[in-house]
Structures are given as structure tokens and as C-alpha cells.
Amino acid sequence: MSRKYFGTDGIRGRANTSPMTADVAMRLGLAAGRYFTRGPHRHTVVIGKDTRRSGYMIETALTAGFTSVGMDVIQLGPMPTPAVGMLTRSVRADLGVMISASHNPFEDNGIKLFGPDGYKLSDEVEAEIEALMDGTPDLAPPGQIGMARRLDDGRGRYIEFCKASFPRGQTLGGLKIVIDCANGAAYATAPEALWELGAEVIRLGVSPNGENINQGCGSTDPAACRQAVLENGADLGIALDGDADRVQIIDEAGEIVDGDQIMALIATRWAGQGRLAHNTLVTTVMSNLGLERLLEGQRIGLVRTRVGDRYVVEAMRAGGFNLGGEQSGHIVLADYVTTGDGLLAALQVLSVLVAEERPASEVCKLFEPYPQRLRSIRFDRATRPLEDAAVRAAIASGEARLGGSGRLVIRESGTEPVIRVMGEASSPDLLAEVVDEICAAVERVAG
């Protein structure tokens, strides 16, 4: 079903350009407020944001929409996405909202919605809300207009929540940790949580100015974190993205540990402790074949989903699984949170370092990844390259050449106008040929 506003992860776009305008945000507040106003109780929405300049505009417009239909607003200020899900449940709110474009540059912004259970909304619910956005709003009478207030201790609540996920009896005493918060939503919470657990903390990306979020820092550009680890002789580096729902780990030798290795570590650890629900990990089609082979050897099940942490979470909920994530570093620990949480995932890694008294370079590399090649081609959506006969023939030819030694994943991005072509194979040369031939075919019709 074609949708006007919502994409694969809420509403997202360039700030002050449709659909990421104050007008659309206010209409979303009106529509979502109306949708979640059920029953005679006083209704409440929790709103968090990252550190983008446009967050003030979007927050104000949403607040106007929600209060206009009689919903009270609790404003959290800068707060990680997983904290919004957690606090939505904690304060018994009817709805949660996170204003963020995650790892994108500051010019972009987005709006993610959480239901009263703290989980992101389904496609079906988003479609119903979208249908209400262009209708006539059902405004509250003057005496029932909502009120807005700040939750002053939201950061402290989230810090205590994160610390509670770390094993009792363990501390981070004696460990030196670099934390890069991407000048984003976790700049005030993640370093404090690590320090309170006893670590010596080296802080990066903790000086947001509204424009420097994800700029030369964070999980999408971990070079500064890697350099700091090496220069300071740190035991571990933790690089979060702008809304702190994804993480990259850097070991003491400066090697990057991606989401697949993190999931492998947690899954095998939990399986050994009898904690891994149904002895199964949930991940997307993008995760490396090396991870799949490792899990097969450990007799751990693997469920793959389409790309997007929300689809990972949907599969986890449907199957009763408690661990899932993406290669990009979205790690979902369902025993604690309803969405990806970079800090909680890092704390799970740190708990293994503490328990085994081994360096991260040994603990965090459980398998040898298959060679992987990923390319992104920008395109005019009107051209629909993946429906072109020549492109489809190139894909079929590539799959035949790889045979059982590899695989291809080709898809349109849900957040930007690009086609992503990813391949894996035991032969890097063959892989490069196959991926580049498919990309060339896509480029010929991409517009």
C-alpha cells in the first residue's frame, strides 16, 4: 500500500521540506492524539528528541497538535530512542514520540511513534493515523485542551535502567572506555552510566550545537573513537549514532566490531546460560553468512527478516524471541527494551570482558565474515529500475554465477532514494564482478 507520509521507520525527510515540516508535524499530533484517545482517563504522550536544530520546531508543532485534541504532553528533551520507549511504559503514557533522523546528517529529521506498550507502531496502525492526518481534526473544547510539562528526572531514570541491566556483583572498575555519543541524544546519559558503573570514561561527541550530530563522529564514522582508543590505551570504544539505538564497538587494537559480531557474542553467551529464548537469534537478510554458519555450528536457530529494526522486533514478538538485531548495530534485547539500544548492547559486551578477564579483541571475534560488497545507487523513483527486464536478467545471472557459494540482497532503501546491492561470496573477485555488473545495469535505467 502506497503511503504519503510514513516510510519504513516513521516519517523522515529534510527539515522544513515536506513531509518534515511544522505543518505535517502538527497534523500528525492531531491525528495520532485522536487515534490514541480512548477511554475516559486523562491521556498523555511522551516526546523525546535528539540534538538537531529542527527538533525544537518539530517538538513545538507536535505539542500543539496533541494538546489541541486534549492530550497532555510530557517533554523529555534530548533522550535516546530506547529511553522514549522505556519511559512511555514507565509513566503509563498512551503514546510515545521520538524526534530523530538517527544516523542521518543534521539537515534531516524524523518522527517515530511508540504505542502504550513501548513498541513502534505497526504498518497498519500508521496507515490508520495517516488517513486521519488529512481529515478535519476533532478539537477539544477550551476546558479540555491538553497541558505540557518537562520530565526533569528522565535522564536519571534511564541511567538507572541501563545500570540495572548490568550483572549484579560486576563493576567496570579498572576498565578504560572511550564513549562517542555522536553529539546526539545520549551525550548526557551514556558517559554517566559508564562512569557510575566504575569505568574510567573518555568522552567524545558530547558537545552538541544543533548541527554537529553524526558529523565526523559516532557509529557511522568511528574513526575518531578508534583513534582515541589507540591513543589512550583504552580497553574498549563505544560509538553510538545520533539517537543511540545503534552501536559500533572498537576493540583495544582499534578493530571495529560490527553488529553481527556483537549478536554472535550475546547469542552464544545467552545460549550457554540458558537465557536465549527458543535458542534463536533474529536478524535481517543483511547479516553475514559467517554469522549464520557460526550459529549452525552452535545449534542456535536463526530467523531472518527484511531490513529494518522494526521488522526484527515484529518477528521477535511473534516468535517469543528475546534477542535480535542488525549488522548496522541495532541490537534489541527484549528482556530489557522494546527497540535497539546501543548502550545496553555495549554493556552486555562489557559484562563478558569483565567475567572472562580477556581483551575485547579475543572476546568479540567469534567468526570470520564472508567477503561482503555493498553498493548504493541513487535513482529517480519514477524509473523503477528493479522492475526493468535488463536489471532482472543481470540479477538472475549474478545469482546463477554465485550458486551455493554466496548470496545477493537487492532492495530499495526505505529512507532515501537509493537501491542497495549487497552480495556475499567465498570468492572476493567473483563477488566484485557480480555486484558491479548488477550496479551497472541499475545505473543505466536509474535516471
Distance from C-alpha of 177 to C-alpha of 402, rounded to nearest angstrom: 42
What is the chain's alpha carbon radius of gyration, rounded to the nearest angstrom? 22
- Quickly list H helices, 235-288: 259-273
d(CA 171, CA 200): 11
The amino acid at residue 383 is T
Residue 442, Cβ density class (10 Å: 0-12 exposed, 13-18 middle, ≥19 buried):
buried
Residues 6 or more apart whose Cβ sits within 8 Å of residue 16: 22, 54, 57
CA distance 31 to 33: 5
* Residue 259, burial from CB neighbour count under 10 angstroms (0-12, 13-18, 19+): buried
> 37 with 94: CB under 8 angstroms?
yes
DSSP 381: G
Contact 406, 431 (CB under 8 A): yes
Residues noted as catalytic: 102
CA angle 193, 194, 195 (to 5 degrees): 90
For residues 66 and 63, what is the distance between their CA atoms, to the nearest angstrom? 5
The three cell numbers of residue 104 are 542521518
Burial 115-129 (b: 16+ CB within 10 A, else e): bbebbbbeeebbeeb
Strands, E, within 162-279: which ranges? Answer: 176-180, 200-204, 236-240, 247-250, 256-257
